[in-house]
Structures are given as C-alpha cells and as structure tokens.
Amino acid sequence: MGFSTDAIHAGQIPDQTTGAVITPIHLTSTYVQDELGKHKGYEYGRTHNYTREALEKNITVLEKGKYGIAFASGLAATHALMSLFKAGDHIIVSSNVYGGTYRLFEQNLTDFGLEFSWVDTSDGKNIESTIKGNTRMIFVETPTNPMLVLTDLEVVAEISKKNNLISVCDNTFMSPYFQNPLEWGIDLVLHSTTKYINGHSDTLGGIIVTNKDDVLDRIRYIQNAAGGIPSPFDCWLSLRSTKTLAVRMQKHDENARTFADFLVKSNAAKKVIYPGLKSHPQHDLAIKQMRGFGGMVSADFGTIEEAKQVLNNVKIFALAESLGGVESLIGHPASMTHASVPKEEREKFGLTDSLVRFSVGIEDVEDLIADIEQALK
C-alpha cells in the first residue's frame, strides 16, 4: 500500500460493536475477566489499551517495522530505550541531538554508570574511532536539531553490524513520510510524536519502532514495568493526526523550500541552513536517504541584536519551544531548547547566540515571508 492509504487504514479496523469508522477511545483502567485465568487478552490499562495498540500498529506500518511501543513523550521513549543497558556500558551519540536527550543522558543516566561519547556522526570514521570494548549502542539524530547536520544511516547501520552494536535513529525531524531508518538497516527508530506525527501542537507522545524481537520484549516489558504510557485520548489524537501526515509533510516541505530561498535571497541572514539548499554540505546525502527536506530551517543572523529583532517582532511565527505543528514557530535554540548545553559545547558545532530556528508551518508561505520582512524593518 502507499503511505497515505496505510496512514488512514493501518491498525484501524472499524469498531466491532457499532461499526464506528473511527477507533474508539478506550477509557478504562481494568477489564472484566470471564472466569479465573480466562480473559480477552486485556487485564489492566497500563499493560493493554486498545487505542494505544491501534496507534502502535499504525505508526509501525508507516515506519516499515514489525513492532511499535508507544510512550507518554519522546523522552519517555528514550528513557525506556536506555533500559536496554546497564552500568559500565558505553554509548555513542550524535553531538548535537535534541537538548533534552543530552540532559537525560549526561545529567541523569551518567549517575547510573552509563558512559556517553558525543561524536560528530556525520563522518563514520569518528564513530569507528570512538568504539571501545564496552560500547553497546550508536544513537543518531538526522537531521540534527537545530544545525540540520545529516548522518548517513547506511554507514551507521554497517558500523553497528560489524561491531555488534545496537543502532538507533531519532527520526522526529523527518517523520516516517520522508525517512525510514529501518530500511537503511538501523535497528530502532525513535519519534517524539509530539512533533510532526501529531502535528497539531495539542499532545505529547513518543514511540519506538523496531524489527528486532529481543528489543521488543525488553521495551514492551519496560513499558509495562515502568509505566511511561500515553493516555488513550493522546493516542487517539495522534491517530487522528497520522491520517493527514502525508499532506501536511508535503506542505511543510514546499513552504520550507520557498522560505529558505527567501532567506538566502534577502541577505538578512549570514547563513541559512536547510538540507534542501544546494549550499547545504550534505545536500546529496539528503537526496539519497530522505524523500523530502522537511519543514525545519535555521538561520544565523550574525549578531544577537539582529536575531532578537526577528524573534521579538514576528507576528505570525509564534515564539515557542517545539516544532512540527501546522502553525509556524520561531525559536532561539541557545536560550530555549539547548539552554542545558554549555555555551562552549554549543559553539563547537555552530550553535551561536545569533542562530534562529524556524519550524515552517502550513500557512500561506507569502504571509510567512511578509512576516519576516516586516520584522526585519
């Protein structure tokens, strides 16, 4: 099936009691048992929920995987993922991942004896030279937030297989519509469904998709044992959203291309970063492993004053954390999403105080461009 057909139908059989076309929200904490030891496969709400299962099946198909395990947020999914490891294990991570991932790993999980190396994974040689006897996983985000640096997923998968490591890709920025890491041989895909998958800025969620049975068993166990599950209503909202993921992503991508071209031509920004621009150093890799370039654009305005001018004077772009919703957002990574990353660390990969990040929404792009023009005046 094509992506849109799967998005609308996968995991969503009409309700058997009434024929309702839309998957119901199963609000129940427990389930009646027919007799001692005999039930319908549903015992307790943390362990099983019909709406959650429908969402898991749906996104699993979109990510071309076998299993999906849903969580209350992207970070709850990342935290559950880390339960695959134990004290003494070493993990290689892309150097400018989502700030919350950095905070969880560096400021929390190191207390439990996990060791992290922050590496520019855009070059496979950096990964290989960091592998040690106790290395267990390579965790990449591509494109990264907010520098939009790409990592070659095929290369990561090869290195992982050769060294018997688990490979993980945070695919939040591309969504399954533009990139399917499992198809390049990556073991696990992680999403903050809060962003493009839900797409309407009205709920948080996370999911892990994999083909590996042993990983499924462990993460399914943790989903129940630690309980970081999404509510049935949140699952329902995300299911409502995947139905329009294809059309939304097409429009995000189309708008972002036009918007990035405008920024380049306007000369207001010192540097414009967007994988769809020929000037992006990994434009060819973007074409190879992605089916579009997405809706995220970053621009360095040279000075903090100029950046503030834009940030404080836009009227349509909302100054807010997060991304991937239908409405356009503008953010200042240095003081917002990446405030927990020390300044020296940030500047090493170009995340300066004058960098502004745009989550280009699906409004009329002429209005978005006019908004920046008036803010610059």
Ligand X SMILES: *Cc1c(COP(=O)(O)O)cnc(C)c1O
Name the site residues for ligand X (rule: CB under 6 A): 73-75, 98, 100-101, 141, 145, 170, 172-173, 192, 194-195, 204, 206
User: For this structure, is 195 an active site residue?
Assistant: yes
State the nearest-atom distance from the C-beta of 116 to ligand X, in Å: 16
Cα 250 to Cα 262: distance, rounded to the nearest angstrom? 19
Residues 274/260, Cβ–Cβ less than 8 Å: yes
Spot the catalytic one: 50, 67, 98, 177: 98
CB closer to ligand X, 206 vs 375: 206
Spot the catalytic one: 50, 52, 89, 195: 195
State the nearest-atom distance from the C-beta of 251 to ligand X, in Å: 19
Q: Which residue has the tokens 């927990």?
A: 340
Instruction: Supply the DSSP string of 282-300, one letter for each residue.
Output: THHHHHHH-SS--SEEEEE
State the nearest-atom distance from the C-beta of 147 to ligand X, in Å: 12
Written as six digits, the tokens of 228 are 């970081």
CB closer to ligand X, 201 vs 375: 201
Beta strands in 109-235 (DSSP E): 115-119, 135-141, 166-170, 188-192, 206-210
Q: Which residue has its beta carbon closest to ligand X?
A: 74
Side-chain half-sphere exposure of 138, counting CA atoms within 13 A: 33
CB closer to ligand X, 98 vs 358: 98
Altogether, the residues listed in the chain come to a count of 377
| Dihedral sign computed on CA atoms, order 213, 246, 292, 257 | negative
Spot the catalytic one: 50, 52, 67, 170: 170
Written as six digits, the tokens of 125 are 């040689």
Spot the catalytic one: 42, 46, 212, 261: 46
CB closer to ligand X, 170 vs 187: 170
* Residue 167 DSSP SS3: strand
CB closer to ligand X, 75 vs 314: 75
State the nearest-atom distance from the C-beta of 236 to ligand X, in Å: 17
Cα 327 to Cα 321: distance, rounded to the nearest angstrom? 12
* Those residues with Cβ within 8 angstroms of residue 250's Cβ, 6 or more apart along the chain or in another chain: 292
Active site residues: 46, 98, 170, 195
